Structure 1
Amino acid sequence: MTHYVDYIADQKRDPAIVAHRGAWHGAPENSLAAIERAIAVGADVVELDIRKSADGELFIMHDDTLLRMAGIDRDAETFTIAELRAIALREDDGGEHRATTDQRIPTLKQALEIIRGRIFADLDLKDRGLFSEVAACAREMNAASYVDLKTRVMTREELDWVRAQNIDGVAFMAMSKFTAESIHETMALLSEIRPFMCEMRFDSLETIKANRQMFRDANMALWTNTLNMEASGEWVDKTALIDPGRIWGTLMEAGVSVFQTDEPEALNAYLEARRA
């Protein structure tokens, strides 16, 4: 398996599938089983949410509390890692109607053991102050070449913050918004740190299409979320399940080559159909 940066930079590759919180249809989100399932259904990248326990261990959980995924209305980071590892996760994306499974809250190290050499990982830190610590963990686990770290870069202050972090060996992805009025200013800022990829939002798809060559010249791949959330606008999974060409196909034609989705199997099926 190649380096994450080299994989993303390959302009001959198929669009990349990012399984949001793992492939959680059939496994608890952010669980080891969800990572394994992401690999099984053909995802290229798994997105995981990273937090730090009361006794200083890095673990995986999206929400501030354990209410949705475990029925415990208490902040996740107030537990020790031993306490967290004893908590059973609810199936799929949780909620009181979901059954409890045999899956436990995983540590980052456990996740990296699975990821290394098998799939890439986007590590979404709930506290960006953990940047250097998470990068050190990835290096310790010989997984640095398989993961990325990301944060917003839209201002000089945010750019300087990224530069001050010790994430040697770990790829950095910027999170930015492109508008017709500000795209050149934003790209000039990003050019100072040359992120290999950008998790982007945009005012209009026309802005992205009109500047495809600028993104190519910057060697910066474009990542878009088609998650069913307000920030995705019209570009959502629920529409893609009905008309994948209208959502995923149109975005691909505009130059997007990385898609974070809650429907990795459906996206993989669409890509296979396009290749046929």
Structure 2
Amino acid sequence: MTYKDFIADPARSCAVVAHRGAWHGAPENSLAAIEKAIALGCDIVELDVRKSADGELFLMHDDTLERMAGIDRVAESLAMAELQSIALRDGDGGETRAPTDQRIPTLRQALEVIRGRIFADLDLKDRGLFAEVAACARAVAASNDIDLKTKVHTSADVAWVRAQNIDGVPFMGMAQFTAEGTKDTLAVLAELSPFMCEIRFDSLETIARNREAFAKAGMALWVNTLDQPGSGEWTDRAALADPDSIWGRLIDAGISVIQTDQPAALKSYLKVRSA
């Protein structure tokens, strides 16, 4: 099944996205974190993509290597061979995390792991890499297993996306929905017909009220419940304390894809909810 077919399946349950891989017990953005996400039965793994000094695409969230390796260097200033000689710290890094046997993977290595086993949301730290990432995915026959995404707010954003050579790679929009602006936002997104949209919103009622419009657009809704400022009240911390009030309410409003740093807990909640 392709990524787009999976997302469009009306019979599926809420999809679980492992943020930077399932990093509890493996370094984030590592091959081990991807394998853990697969073992947990996650549907999608979110990965961060950068480009090395010698032109290789690789996985790393931060600009520097400080948090994940204790090295005060800009990651993209190093060649790929240098990057792969560095031991990644466990979990989400930091001074208290021990070094592991995991190294910084190339995007190609990651795609070879995910192909046919799990889908991947690729968060490009420079969206100018769209065409290169799409070409890499096509080269390893993984173009049906990934998405590329960027913010779509204006006609200029639409024109930018159309100018990229991402044929065959699913495109996900990123947008903010408000009570007053939902109709206009959907009109802009309709020019690209994204199969899914990573959303923020002023009120959950805005999303629930417009369920029919989202369905007509053929666009699944993705929400992050990460413990980050942009998540507002919709955090993993709150969901662990009361999953019905966070994950449950989102699903009831029409959200069908949730990105989390607690994929095991979300999987368990969905199992109980469907029982």
Other structure's SS at 1:13 match: coil
- Where do 5+ consecutive residues of structure 1 fail to align? none
- How do residues 31-70 of structure 1 correspond to structure 2 at under 5 angstroms? 31-70=30-69
- How do residues 1-276 of structure 1 correspond to structure 2 at under 5 angstroms? 2-276=1-275
Deviating runs (4+, > 6 A) in structure 1? none
CA distance in 2, matches of 1:264, 1:176: 24
CA distance in 1, matches of 2:138, 2:165: 12
Deviations 1:163-198 (A, max 9, x none): 111101100000000001111000001111100000
Other structure's SS at 2:29 match: coil
Offset of 1:7 from its aligned partner? 0.3
Q: TM-score, normalised by structure 2?
A: 0.99
Other structure's SS at 2:222 match: strand
Other structure's SS at 2:150 match: strand
- Where do 5+ consecutive residues of structure 2 fail to align? none
CA distance in 2, matches of 1:202, 1:266: 24
Deviations 1:54-105 (A, max 9, x none): 0000000000000000000110000000000100000000001110000000
Offset of 1:11 from its aligned partner? 1.3
Other structure's SS at 1:123 match: strand
Amino acid at match of 2:131: S
Identity of aligned residues (%): 68
Amino acid at match of 2:89: R
CA distance in 2, matches of 1:113, 1:73: 30
Offset of 1:159 from its aligned partner? 1.1
CA distance in 1, matches of 2:242, 2:40: 20
Offset of 1:52 from its aligned partner? 0.3
CA distance in 1, matches of 2:271, 2:254: 19
Other structure's SS at 1:124 match: strand
CA distance in 2, matches of 1:36, 1:217: 35
Other structure's SS at 2:94 match: coil
Deviations 1:173-225 (A, max 9, x none): 00000001111000001111100000000000010000000000011000000
Amino acid at match of 1:164: A
Amino acid at match of 1:126: K
Other structure's SS at 1:235 match: coil
CA distance in 2, matches of 1:106, 1:228: 25
Q: TM-score, normalised by structure 1?
A: 0.99
CA distance in 2, matches of 1:181, 1:74: 45
CA distance in 2, matches of 1:3, 1:41: 20
Deviations 1:239-266 (A, max 9, x none): 1111111100000000000000000000
CA distance in 2, matches of 1:158, 1:74: 32
